[in-house]
Amino acid sequence: MSIVALVLAAGKSSRMGRDKLSMRLYAIDGAGENESSTVLPVEHGSMVPINHEDAKSETVGGRVLSVLLQVSELASIVVVHSPHSSPAWQAQCEQLRQLHSERMQLVACEQSELGMSYSIREGVQYVREHIPSAQAILIVLADQPLLEPTHIQQLVAQWQEQRELDYVAATGANGAAPPILFAASMWDGLEQLTGDQGARRLLKGTDWYGAQVQLPAYCFWDADTPSALERIRQHLAEND
């Protein structure tokens, strides 16, 4: 049984005003609030990635990838990014890919600006073609950094216990939302999404048999705006 995490990381960050995925989760003395922490200058003007084992240098997207890499039940992690993503985010993704080459792959979605469905379809197609052992895809958003390994494991465990399920969705006060696990029976449906339709649209129909797993409200907080990121930072400061 093989489960692949499909990380949607190709958004335009239009509400943030800059690349949100490479923004720090923690304030660092002497650094601007909005600086990324993906690379550091070294001699001769070259750049080297920061060691992301240092939690205080974690970024929004980097923390999501770090969490997924801690979940042994995930055989592979496929990151769908935009070719127009910031150099900082691309550098961070490449560093992690090199460190975890046996589990992590990067896929560029040339049409990501046309809507989320393009990233989903690109990712599903990649899994079909390159990971034939995959039996389920777990769709995760790269801007929800408060997810923890145990949250992902709850979804996986539910599907492992009930293999007849077409999907297992996280749910909170506003209903089902990513992360959502989709068995192979639903991949055709994912590839038929259009425009800016997200994967949870499929859950509104009656064609599929699924389950929901209740997660804490903070799991669904995304870093879409400066105020949203500040709320996430405050949560981390109070709970770390």
User: Which domains, from first to last, does the chain contain?
Assistant: 2-239 (3.90.550.10)
Q: How confident is the model at residue 126, as a pLDDT? A: 97
Q: Which percentage of the chain shows pLDDT scores above 70?
A: 85
Q: Does residue 38 register a pLDDT over 50? A: no
Q: How confident is the model at residue 28, as a pLDDT? A: 58
Contact 107, 126 (CB under 8 A): yes
Mean model confidence pLDDT for the chain: 85
Least confident of 42-51, 87-96, 149-158, 225-234: 42-51
Q: How confident is the model at residue 15, as a pLDDT? A: 61
- Alpha-carbon distance of 11 to 148, in angstroms, equals 22
Backbone angles phi, psi at 206, to 5 degrees: -115, 10
Region label for 17, one of left (φ > 0), alpha (ψ between -120 and 50) or beta (otherwise): left
Q: How confident is the model at residue 166, as a pLDDT? A: 96
Q: How confident is the model at residue 55 (pLDDT cuts 50, 70, 90)?
A: low
Q: How confident is the model at residue 39 (pLDDT cuts 50, 70, 90)?
A: very low
Q: Does residue 45 register a pLDDT over 50? A: no
Q: How confident is the model at residue 176, as a pLDDT? A: 93
Residue 48: which H helix or E strand, with range? strand 47-49
179 upstream amide cis, omega within 30 of 0: yes
CA distances to 79, 140, 197, 201 from 189, in Å: 20, 17, 12, 10
Q: How confident is the model at residue 207, as a pLDDT? A: 84
What is the model's pTM? 0.87
Q: How confident is the model at residue 204, as a pLDDT? A: 82
Q: How confident is the model at residue 13, as a pLDDT? A: 58
Could you report the per-residue pLDDT of 98-112, keeping only the tens digit for each?
999 999 999 999 888
Q: How confident is the model at residue 17, as a pLDDT? A: 58
Higher pLDDT, 8 or 28: 8
Least confident of 6-15, 105-114, 120-129: 6-15
CA distances to 24, 29, 57, 224 from 32, in Å: 10, 8, 13, 19
Could you report the per-residue pLDDT of 159-212, keeping only the tens digit for each?
999 999 999 999 988 899 999 999 999 999 999 999 888 888 898 877 899 999
